[in-house]
Amino acid sequence: MNKKKLFKQVLAMFALFMTFAVSTETQAVPAFARQTGMACAACHYQTYPAINAFGRAFKSAGFTLIGAQEQVKGVDLGLPVVLNGSLVTKFRYQKTNGAATTGGAGATNTGELQFPDEAALLIGGRAGEHVGFLLELGTFGEADTKSGEFSLFGSFKMPFSYKLGGTNLSFIPFITDAGGAGYGFELLNTGAQRFQRVGEDRRALMAQQYLGLGAGKAEGFAFVAANEMGFVNVSLWAPKHGSFAVKQLAPYMRVAWTPSFGGWDTGLGVQYYSGKARERDTTTGLNVDHVTKGWAIDGQLQGAVGGMPLGVYAAYGETPRNTVFNSSLTADKKAWSIHMQLGVLPKATLLLGYLSANTGAATQNKDNALTLGGTYLLAQNVQLQLNHAMFSGSKYDAVQAAGDQRTTLMLFSAF
Amino acid sequence: MIDIRRLLLLLVPLVVTLASGCAPLGAKPGQITVTSDPAGADVYVMGGKVGMTPLNLDHDAVFPVTFPSEKQVLYGAVELRKAGCKSSVQRVSTVALAKGLHVKLECGEAASGEMSSARHPQPNQRPLSAVEQGPRPVVKENAAIETRLRRVQELRDKGVITEQEAREIRQRILGEL
């Protein structure tokens, strides 16, 4: 196809979508907003999916808080009369500056339209007075580890939450195709858990995401205690998605303190992975161990400077060699990061981040990233985000297939 | 070849132009327009008076970054109070954020100023039930005390209750402080 013609067609399609996206009334909002009758801004800080103190309270209560919606009520029954859902989509354009013309790098070096990068139907909310749920139905599905069949059950969790004094005590069975062990329960926006973050280019912004500590397949059980001052999450999990013959689950511990200081909503936490998950390979009859070792500390500040909302997020983490997080046999992986988002206009933010990492390779192992970006809220539930990451360090002394720069333009919507 | 710089140069202004012309956000981004019929109602958010209708409220006032846990029941809500009218509590929904809050107060003989409409939701209102599991904090009760005392005096003036009864009710209301 003529490239000029293709360019015009892409531009026309994008303009058409944008016209549709911003000209319709935003009556339709995501599942939780439908349930609570509250605006997206009630729970989210600056841009979704990052959450604020009230969002943390809603999550801590296991998604059970309900607002205007009518309920079906009876003995041991109290759920909304409708099943609340929302469609989440990410349309992305990503461009890297490498020389490769084949494979994944070849696509982004050319300039890759990722339509959709993500498209999922999220269904969730209150299932009972003490029971909530969140289900992510993916479009492409995930191969079940046992049968190999594809499932649309991407991520799912079902908190059973009871309030004791001012503290919510929860038991949360969970499974996720990409959210990591922290998917069971997480409240900070630092990157400790993949689905709860500020910027799109997560590996260039957040140490835990660079190290793989807050992402990947996971299933297990979370035991949580949470109140307005913080939370403790002790989980037993395995880096699997779907049915498998389990011999032993690995522990994951997360502790965070979330006090307020002088108008600043803060968070300070620790993630700790240890031990191993053991499964039985039912083909060979042998045990297979998944060693899960690593740790991270993280912190966040959410407040305002000069009347402009500001969020600052920082983390440091390490993953020992020869684990599910670090396949290197020679060295530990380490990374630290800091990024901040400043609301310069009511609908616009600027994003600045820096990450410095050791890849765990024997040589040329310094991997740094400087990220500049911003978001523009086209509607309460439609966000345009632009990130540009510039990589440096000894890793780039060798030519990288995807080069040393990456630009991501994303339209992130939740209807 | 699609040049990223060229694409961005064209798309970003296009999107911004479209968005600023059509986006369903309020006319004043970052603010929520609050009006009432009749006008001149006192507006309370997070337990404090912030002005009288009509007015524009900052998002941050309704959705503060930090707040005491006992005020969680007031988070995201706007309460309107006017003498002779039922007080009205409205949750700030997505629609309200886009179009503003427009509240028709129930006033006159039919209105019972003693009771907050949050406890007796009207068909077009959203009650404070998003946090209904939580205990009603003292600050919420305080919010209606002035109205309730005024209502007690009205009942006394009309002779509906005796002075002794009025005194007991006043003491009970003030005892909630």
Picking from A39, A54, A379, the nearest residue to B23 by CB comes out as A379
Distance from the B79 Cα atom to the nearest Cα atom in chain A, whole angstroms: 15
pLDDT score at A231: 98
pLDDT score at A414: 87
**Banded pLDDT at B175 (limits 50, 70, 90):** low
Pick from A22, A25, A228: which is nearest to B18 by CB? A22
* Subunit contact B93:A52, Cβ cutoff 8 A: no
Candidate from B16, B29, B132 with C-beta closest to A346: B29
Separation between Cα atoms, residue B105 and residue B43, nearest integer Å:
12
The whole-number pLDDT of residue A206 equals: 97
Burial (Cβ within 10 Å: 0-12, 13-18, ≥19) of residue B1: exposed
Q: Which residue of A has its CA nearest to B128?
A: A67
B75/A42 Cβ within 8 A: yes
For residue B105, give both structure tokens.
Answer: 């107060």
Which residues of chain B have a CB within 8 Å of the CB of A378?
15, 18-19, 23
* pLDDT at residue number A109: 97
Q: What is the reported pLDDT for A72?
A: 86
Contact of A40 with A397, CB cutoff 8 Å = no
User: Which B residues 63-122 touch A at CB under 8 Å?
Assistant: 63, 65-67, 69, 72, 75-76, 91-98
Asked if B4 and A95 come within 8 Å (Cβ–Cβ), the reply is: yes
Tens-digit pLDDT profile for residues B33-68: 999 999 999 999 998 999 999 999 988 899 998 988
Question: Which segments of chain A have a pLDDT < 50?
Answer: 15-29
Please give the pLDDT value at position A143. Answer: 53
Kindly list the domain boundaries of chain A, sorted by start residue. 32-90+118-347
- CB-based contact A39:B100 (threshold 8 Å): no
User: What is the least distance, in Å, from the CA of B164 to any CA of chain A?
Assistant: 39
Report chain B's mean pLDDT, rounded to a whole number: 71
The answer for residues whose C-beta is within 8 angstroms of residue A306's C-beta and 6 or more apart is none
Determine the residue of chain B that is closest to A162 in CA distance.
B133
A281 backbone dihedrals φ, ψ, rounded to 5°: -75, 110
Q: How far is CA A16 from CA A81, A160, A232, A288, A375, in A?
A: 35, 43, 46, 51, 20
For chain A, say whether B5 makes contact (Cβ under 8 Å): no
Burial A202-217 (b: 16+ CB within 10 A, else e): bbbbbbbbbbbbbbbb
Q: Under an 8 A CB cutoff, do B66 and A265 touch?
A: yes
pLDDT tens-digit series, residues B100-148: 899 999 998 655 544 444 433 333 334 443 333 333 333 444 557 777 8
| H helix or E strand, kind and range, residue A226 | strand A218-227
**A70 to chain B, minimum CA–CA distance in Å?**
11
CB distance from B27 to chain A under 8 Å? no
Q: Choose among A226, A371, A196: nearest CA to A298.
A: A196
B127, A386: Cβ pair inside 8 Å?
Answer: no
For residue A319, what are the β-bridge partners?
A333
User: Is residue B26 within 8 angstroms of chain A, CB to CB?
Assistant: no
Whether residue B70 is predicted with pLDDT greater than 90 in this model: the reply is no
Q: What are phi and psi of A151, to 5 degrees?
A: -125, 145
- pLDDT digit string, tens, across residues A7-46: 666 555 554 444 434 333 333 337 888 888 888 889 999 8
Strands B101-104 and B31-37: parallel
Q: Which chain A residues are Cβ-neighbours of B32 within 8 angstroms?
A: none
A-chain residues near B14 (CB < 8 A)? 15, 18
